[in-house]
Every structure is written in structure tokens, then in C-alpha cells.
Amino acid sequence: MHSRFISSRSRQVMTGKDLIKLSSLPAPKLSDYLSKQGFVRAEQFTRGDTLVQDFQLTTRKSEQLDDCADRHAEGLSFSNMCGFTYNTTSYDEYSSIVNDLKREGFYTEGVNEENSFLYQKDDMTVEVGNRTEDTLTHYSLSIKKDILPSPKNIQYAEDFLSFRSHANLEYVFGKKNVQKDMYYFSDSNVVRCSVLFPNTNRQAIFIWRDQLNRCGLSHVLIGNSLRAKNSDKYDDPVSENVWTLRNGLHPNMSLSELIRANNADVRFYGWNSQYPGIVVPSKNGNIDFKNTGVILSCLNCGTSGLMSSEVISADEAQSSSNRLFVLAVILMPGKDSFSAYHK
């Protein structure tokens, strides 16, 4: 058994620790590291918005391994970030790397761990894939390291848009300050979420595109009255949410303050419409409501008269003495828009 283990390891070019190390190396150091592993630089090309530097295993190194497996590596550069992909047709090598990652603390969500495609830890994500050509299966492990702000540099709500996963939040803020939860948009629309500083005036709720793995930021919800499922057990009052956007927008500001911040009238959907209280996603002032969603509430509004209109002018609402205020703010990554979110 011992001899079989040695034989297996001798046929392994890459380990989990190698993969972690290579995730953050700049191009020159990555090339040097791979050279020591028996790789040489090959062609360079683009794949979508990613610059790829291909590395091929030398013939001499392949002959030393004597297992007929095909191996190559790729250095990745995209959006001022770097990453690394390792490809092998050796199932034993692939399986050994995955086991190494688990020992290093990488975890995956989902019922059947063996079929999961994503492993996460701190600021790193490993995407695992395979494809079969004829009878040969190619395994790939792609690792990326996120660039995250430190807590002391997080001053505005927009700074939360740098976080890409629940694992990122735990890494920066600590596990005790981040809670896995469920968020109810409605009785029929329930999603997995992560809650930062739950039930405090610093609470922020993160909604993910990939709900299973809680990664891929969809949007961030800021507001006092926003409660995830676990908040049902919490009855104590919470003071006013402290998060503010760079343009001055924040939860609980009055409608008149919102108009002043925008330096223009604001239009919102009426109480009987499909989107009650939501500011129309447009830009006619300082605030781009297409990229920042705002939900209004009211202390003394009914559903008749002015409030029964499909779309209402904030100037008109003010003149009617309606006491409206910002209930919640919804932040979305730059490539998204609130227009798509509320359709």
C-alpha cells in the first residue's frame, strides 16, 4: 500500500497547495514557479475578457511521469485580477488536488459534495469542471483570488459591492458577524441570503445569484425594517441604519431630503401599482435610480386619491402633506441595473 501511494504521488505534478500559491502570483513569478514544475510558456490568447497565458508540460517531464495523462496550465488575467487553471486527464491527480483543498479548509455547499462544482475559502474560489472527448475525460480546476477591502476602508454602502460571496464576508468581518439566512421578497419568492451585522444599525443583506453556493453578488439591501427569516425571533428595536451612499442617499431620509439630494423631482409608483413605493428607475438629477433602487414608505398615506395613481410626482406628494420616507435602498453591481431587477 505504501509503494502504491509513492507511485501515485510521483505521477502528480500539481497539489492543492500549489494551486493556492499560484492563485496570487503575478505573471513573471507564476512563470518561474511553473518552470520548476516542468512547464514551459506556450501561446498567449484572449478568452472573452480574460487574457490567457498557456503553459505546456515538457516532453521530458511527461516521460518521467509515464502515465500517458495530458496536462497543461493557464495563467489568467482579468479586471485587474489574476487566477490560475490546471488541466489534467489523470483522475487520481484531480482527486488528490480536491482532497488537498478540503484539508486546507475549502468547503462546498450542496447535498452531494462529490458532485459540487465550487469550493470556497476566505478570498479564494476554486471552480471544478470536466468534459469528456471520446473516452478521455479532462478535469479542470480554476482558482481565483478576490481583491477585498479591509473593514477600516469600508465607509459607504457602495463599498459592499466588492464582496462576491458569503465566504468573502466571513473572511473580512469574521464568522460571528455574518449569518446565513433566507429573505422573503414575497410568500412565493424566497431566496438564500447572507446578513452582515444582523439586527443592528449596521445590517446589510446580501442576495446572491448562485444561491446554492451563496456567491455572485446580485444586490445588497440596506434598511432598518428589512428582516430576514431569523430576525422573526428578534423583538428588540433597532436604531436607524448608519449606512449612507456617496451621494448622500440613506434609509429613513424624508421625501423632501431625497428631492434635495437628487436636486430634481422624483417619481415613484403608486400604492395600487405593481411596484408600490418603488422610485421609477431613471436619471433626471444627481441620483441614478437605474443603478440604485429606492423603496418608499409612508406614515399617513391611503390607497385612494393621489396615491392611487400609477406613477406619482414627489413634488405633488409633498404638497398633499403625505409623510413619505426612504424605507430601503437596493445596491446593484455596475453591470446590472435596478430596471432589470424589478421587472
Q: What is the pLDDT of residue 65?
A: 83
The reply to whether 239 falls in a domain is no
The reply to whether 282 falls in a domain is yes
* Residue 141 sits in the same domain as residue 33: yes
From the list 110, 204, 214, the residue with the least C-alpha distance to 167 is: 214
Residue 155: its H or E element: none
- Residue 298: phi and psi, rounded to 5, are -145, 140
The reply to whether 238 falls in a domain is no
The reply to whether 211 falls in a domain is yes
DSSP 210-256: ETTTTEEEEEEEE-TT---GGGGG--S--PPP----TTS--TT-BHH
Q: What is the pLDDT of residue 326?
A: 93
pTM for the structure as a whole: 0.85
Last residue of a domain, one of 98, 124, 145: 145
Angle at 224 between CA 221 and CA 230, to 5 degrees: 80
Query: Residue 127, by phi and psi: left (phi above 0), alpha (psi -120 to 50) or beta?
Result: beta
Q: What is the pLDDT of residue 1?
A: 41
In whole angstroms, give the CA distance from residue 101 to residue 75.
19
Per the CB < 8 A criterion, the answer to whether 41 and 55 are in contact is yes
* Residue 7 sits in the same domain as residue 123: yes
Last residue of a domain, one of 127, 145, 163: 145
The reply to whether 184 falls in a domain is yes
Last residue of a domain, one of 207, 233, 259: 233
| Cα distances (Å, whole numbers) of residue 238 to 197, 201, 266, 279 | 12, 6, 28, 25
* Residue 61 sits in the same domain as residue 90: yes
Q: What is the pLDDT of residue 26?
A: 85
* Residue 336 sits in the same domain as residue 254: yes
Q: What is the pLDDT of residue 4?
A: 42
From the list 92, 102, 87, 98, the residue with the least C-alpha distance to 139 is: 87
Q: What is the pLDDT along the chain (343 residues), one digit of tens a residue?
A: 444 443 445 578 999 999 999 998 888 899 999 999 999 999 999 999 899 999 999 988 888 887 888 999 999 988 778 899 999 999 999 999 999 999 999 998 865 444 568 999 999 999 998 889 888 999 999 999 999 999 999 999 999 999 999 999 999 999 999 999 999 887 788 899 999 999 899 999 999 999 889 999 999 999 876 666 666 565 555 678 999 999 999 999 999 999 999 999 999 999 888 899 999 999 989 999 998 999 999 888 877 788 889 999 998 888 887 789 999 999 998 755 555 555 5
